[in-house]
A and B are shown apart, each in its own frame.
Chain A
């Protein structure tokens, strides 16, 4: 008698929004074994939970009684406002799941048994376990667009409420979960208060500016904020976000186009203002992280800003180095890593000194997430560089 192969119908014939995270990511087990990821320290510097499932709870944290009542009445009387009241959610972003082709972008609706912790904590644990991640920096999703809210008198208290809720209900529930707390950037004083409130929390690795389009990061009123962060040794992140309402994207007719350009130009704008106004010279010890724009734009920015600066030095008198030198001293997160031209990618890594400054990010559960194997299978990196990018650089930056 011979032993033939074991044939079994697959337990999950189709992945839907109700499929569990371990099942969605089951194929990642191959990478885990192939690259020995369980023995690698991996820090995921950009991932998300969905605060919409907890919207009524978050609204209960809004301090302003009139605004809170407005939101509660919206949730009560407007059938679609239960998870969105007061938010500035852009309907165009609903196209992210590519017509329900990418279910985990649409929703993570898997059943979670009742327990002591919030559902989002368990979802984060499942993602970390599936991807062999040791520490995960968790951000909100729709609230990342708070910088695009048309009314700062709503945006600021809403973000403050979310931050309080997040720090109470998500952040302390698992030692692997960390965050860069979002700043209510429209209000510099509120930014400072946010740093004072959470800056000593050991699970708060730093702070970040979200999808902001309308504030010049070099404006004088932000200097106290930067000084405070520098003094505390806390990094400042810029998490890019898309908008269909940018002057440039307003002509675009496909989400693909908006997504390709809008994240990148968001970070390009702030980086240009940051460098040309000499902020790296004014705050030499403030660590800056550019989050979620891939890497392909970075060598362009290096050459473009160097080229312009050399001809117009008088417009950037604070600079003591070339713009590209400052870029090289900053941190970038890896996702979404563009890999269609490996030689270009290798040159990009070299130009930005990626082995000492790049931070792995998954962006899970978004549609364009990257697994740790994205870094492990890059052919031009040695093992030390891979380990730096997957976790070593983050360990140094955040003191983990």
Chain B
């Protein structure tokens, strides 16, 4: 008996490359699925616009670099700073904060955004839902 392969959903053109500029995002609705597209250092990321916490519009709030606390060798704190290598997007409903490069909650990686494979070719951005 042959085992049938699970059908692969086709990639869907959801935006033009110019819609998602470096360091920016673009929100798009594909039927009922709302997506946030992000570009960081040339690479694209696609997440569902629904926070795993309470369903909030997680892709629509501030994009802000992750915050680090500067601890010296003697373990004293020297205050906070931004980590330019770790951009975050924040859910506007309750402030849940996620790493744009992984979709993980910035402080508890078991909570993560629903992500989708995203490709770019010929000036078009495609997402597989």
Instruction: Point out residues on A near B: beta carbons under 8 Å.
Output: 4-10, 12-15, 24, 26-28, 30-31, 98-104, 367-371, 373-374
Partner of B92, one of A10, A15, A373, A374: A15
**What are 18 sample pairs from A and B whose C-beta atoms fall under 8 A apart?**
A6-B30, A9-B28, A9-B29, A10-B29, A13-B25, A13-B26, A14-B61, A26-B57, A27-B55, A28-B55, A31-B55, A98-B90, A98-B95, A101-B95, A104-B93, A367-B94, A368-B94, A373-B54
- Across the two chains, which residue of chain A brings its CB closest to B54? A371
* Contact (Cβ within 8 A) B31 A373: no
B residues 29-55 touching A (CB-CB < 8 Å):
29-31, 34, 49-50, 54-55
| Residues of chain A lying within 8 A (CB to CB) of residue B30 | 5-7
CB nearest neighbor in B for A30: B55
Chain A residue contacts of B25, Cβ below 8 A: 13
Query: Which residues of chain B come closer than 8 Å to A8, judged between CB atoms?
Result: 28-29
For residue A234, give the distance in angstroms from its CB to the closest CB of chain B: 33
Task: Give Cα A6 to B19, complex, Å.
Answer: 17
Q: Nearest chain-A residue to B10 (Cβ)?
A: A4
Total CB contacts across the A-B interface at under 8 A: 87
Closest to A24 in B: B92
Q: Which residue of B lies closest to A6 (CB)?
A: B31
Q: How far is the CA of A8 from the CA of B31 in the complex (A)?
A: 8
Q: A100 contacts which chain B residues (CB < 8 A)?
A: 62
In the bound complex, CA of A275 to CA of B108 (Å):
39
17 more CB-based (< 8 A) A-B contacts, given A8-B28, A13-B26, A101-B90? A5-B30, A5-B31, A6-B30, A7-B12, A7-B29, A7-B30, A10-B27, A12-B27, A13-B60, A27-B57, A101-B61, A101-B97, A102-B93, A103-B61, A370-B54, A371-B54, A373-B55
Closest chain A CB from B112 CB (angstroms): 16
- Is the pair B92, A27 in contact by a Cβ cutoff of 8 Å? no
Closest 10 CB pairs of A and B: A10-B27, A101-B90, A15-B92, A15-B60, A98-B95, A5-B31, A8-B29, A101-B95, A102-B95, A5-B30
Most chain-B Cβ atoms within 10 A of its Cβ — which of A28, A102, A369?
A102
In the complex, the answer to whether B57 meets A15 with C-beta atoms within 8 Å is: yes
Contact of A14 among B12, B19, B50, B60 (CB under 8 A): B60
Chain A CB within 10 A, most for which of B14, B57, B61: B57
CA distance A108 to B56 in the complex (A): 17
Q: Let me know if B54 and A7 touch, CB within 8 A.
A: no
Q: Is the CB of A102 within 8 A of B54?
A: no
**Residues of chain A contacted by B49 (CB below 8 angstroms):** 10, 27
Neighbouring B residues of A14 by C-beta, 8 Å: 60-62
Q: How far is the CA of A28 from the CA of B25 in the complex (A)?
A: 22
A9–B56 CB distance below 8 A: no
Contact string against A for B residues 83-107, beta-carbon threshold 8 Å, 1 for contact and 0 otherwise: 0000000101111010000000000
- Contact in complex: B92, A7 (CB < 8 Å): no
Residues of A within 8 A of B28 (CB): 7-10
* Cβ contacts under 8 Å, B90 to chain A: 98, 101-102
A101 touching B62 in the complex, CB below 8 Å, given contacts A10-B27, A10-B29, A15-B92: yes
CA distance A27 to B55 in the complex (A): 6
Q: How far, in Å, is B23 (CB) from chain A's closest CB?
A: 14
Q: Are B92 and A102 in contact (CB under 8 A)?
A: yes
Q: How far is the CA of A373 from the CA of B90 in the complex (A)?
A: 21
Contacts of A27 in B (CB 8 A): 49-50, 55-57, 93
Closest residue of chain B to A370 (Cβ to Cβ) is B54
- Nearest CB of chain B from residue A379's CB, rounded to whole Å: 15
